[in-house]
Chains A and B, each alone.
Chain A
Amino acid sequence: MGGLRVAHYLNQFFGGVGGEDLADAPPQARPGAVGPGTLLQQCLGEGATVVGTVICGDNRMAEQQAATLPAVLALLRDLRPDLVVAGPAFNAGRYGLACAAVCGAAVRELGVPAVTGLFPENPGREALDRSVIAAVVGATAAGMKADMEHVARLALKLARKEPLGPADVEGYLPTGRRVNEFSDRTGAERMVEMLVRKLRKEPYVSELVVPQFDRVRPAPPVADLASATLGIVTTSGVVRAGNPEGIESWRATKWARYPLAGLEALSPEAFTCVHGGYDNRYIRQDPHRAVPLDVLRRYLREGRVGRLHEVLYTTVGNVMPVERARRLGREVAQELRDASVQAVLFTAT
């Protein structure tokens, strides 16, 4: 044995420390392979050596991750690994979350490839970094031998910097990266074939799995708008005449902030619309159709709204990549927070 140095991460159960009663076990290292590590070593073969094993209780990692993960990482770093393997965790939820966290940290902090094994419904899946490969394994350790072979095969490929094929072919959970390829069958043939399989209740592989968006935790309401500060945000593409900030008509990369103080209304001379996803002439004729400043001014005079944060935050919400939308949203939210805005009117087309 020799070649690649492999560090293996296990929970207290597979690491032989104890059962659920020892799920608080702190991070600890053992030389060489432990428990399923012996099988891992067999599967890796001659070219790689399991140089050590880091074990940690699942509850310890789940409940005190901020303190525990660095300790695990330090023990892994001492092993000077070329590759980190965690688990496999099968369908064990806390173990899966721990394996995902350990692998993500190994890639980020140690700069080495990291592989785990998860059953597709393991909640650890949601905690996976895009850089981590999670081999698809069974729900329980009953298929440990075949599953470990699978984990080891993917781990060796990564360690040897061999390119991985598509997720469904190689048997790992999609990392979120999409690649265009030419298939041997047309899209129409694949659609009809998938329908036949679905009707016959035969297995089929959807070419795109809809992930869950972030759920937004509803913010508590304001007690009384008449004493609150209101902010206005829009993705309708209403911009100053001439679009001086150069906001793109789709896939926008930026947002703009316009002072509203002293403005009673949004005139079509001073404001226009550059959204490229719909027929925007009606907004250009009257920007209030997207940003109701006319109504808000009246409500402010009547005292129905306490104060206005006198800034319009605007961009174009036309097929903006989700990651970019998150970033722009965070930036605007920070401004609103800094201005002590208590409630927001958001207009999206």
Chain B
Amino acid sequence: MGIPVAFCSAIPTIPLAAGVPRVIHGKAVPYLLGDPSLPGDREYALREALTARALATLTMEVTEPTVFTAGG
């Protein structure tokens, strides 16, 4: 039995093509889980939202490669 993996990627097209089941759409290539244009607390909130989303997928059943975004 495999270990579920929450795969955070700035470019979901690549893991989707490779058949990765749980893909979380990160912010951008140079700052996957952040945004240097935001003040520190808001950047942390963005990272927390993405991380929470990623962790949530680990408790979800998926049947095919799926992209999850922080918004829903």
A292 / chain B contacts, CB cutoff of 8 Å: 33, 47-48, 50-51
Bound CA–CA A291/B15 (angstroms): 18
Task: Name B40's closest neighbour in chain A (CB-CB).
Answer: A286
Quote the shortest CB–CB distance from A283 to chain B (angstroms).
Answer: 7
Residue A279 lies at the interface, judged by CB distance under 8 Å to chain B: yes
Quote the shortest CB–CB distance from B26 to chain A (angstroms).
Answer: 7
Q: Are the C-beta atoms of B6 and A219 separated by less than 8 Å?
A: no
Q: Are the C-beta atoms of A341 and B60 separated by less than 8 Å?
A: no
Within 8 A of A (CB), among B2-41: 2-10, 15, 17-22, 26, 29-34, 36
Binary CB contact string for chain A from 327 to 349 against chain B (1 if under 8 A, 0 otherwise): 00000010011000111111111
Residue A185 lies at the interface, judged by CB distance under 8 Å to chain B: no
Q: Are the C-beta atoms of B20 and A216 separated by less than 8 Å?
A: yes
Bound CA–CA A336/B3 (angstroms): 9
Q: Which of A214, A216, A224 is packed against the most chain B CB atoms within 10 Å?
A: A216
Q: Are the C-beta atoms of A295 and B30 separated by less than 8 Å?
A: no
Contact check: which of A222, A236, A299, A347 meets B4 at CB < 8 Å?
A: A222
Given A290-B33, A345-B54: A215 touches B4 (CB 8 Å cut-off): no
Residue A296 lies at the interface, judged by CB distance under 8 Å to chain B: yes
Quote the shortest CB–CB distance from B72 to chain A (angstroms).
Answer: 18
Q: Are the C-beta atoms of A219 and B21 separated by less than 8 Å?
A: yes
B62 / chain A contacts, CB cutoff of 8 Å: 218, 221
Number of interface residues of B (CB under 8 A): 41
A215 / chain B contacts, CB cutoff of 8 Å: 19
Bound CA–CA A305/B2 (angstroms): 19
Task: Name B45's closest neighbour in chain A (CB-CB).
Answer: A295
Quote the shortest CB–CB distance from A212 to chain B (angstroms).
Answer: 9
Q: Are the C-beta atoms of B4 and A283 separated by less than 8 Å?
A: no
Bound CA–CA A343/B44 (angstroms): 23
A221 / chain B contacts, CB cutoff of 8 Å: 4, 58-62
Q: Are the C-beta atoms of B64 and A337 separated by less than 8 Å?
A: no
Q: Are the C-beta atoms of A225 and B21 separated by less than 8 Å?
A: no
Bound CA–CA A304/B52 (angstroms): 10
Binding site for B on A (CB under 8 A): 213-225, 228, 230-231, 233, 236, 278-283, 285-286, 288-292, 294-296, 298-299, 304-305, 333, 336-337, 341-349
11 interchain pairs, CB-CB under 8 A: A216-B19, A216-B20, A285-B36, A291-B33, A292-B48, A292-B50, A292-B51, A295-B51, A342-B4, A345-B6, A346-B7
Given contacts A278-B29, A282-B31, 6 further A-B contacts (CB under 8 A): A218-B21, A219-B1, A282-B34, A299-B51, A344-B58, A347-B26
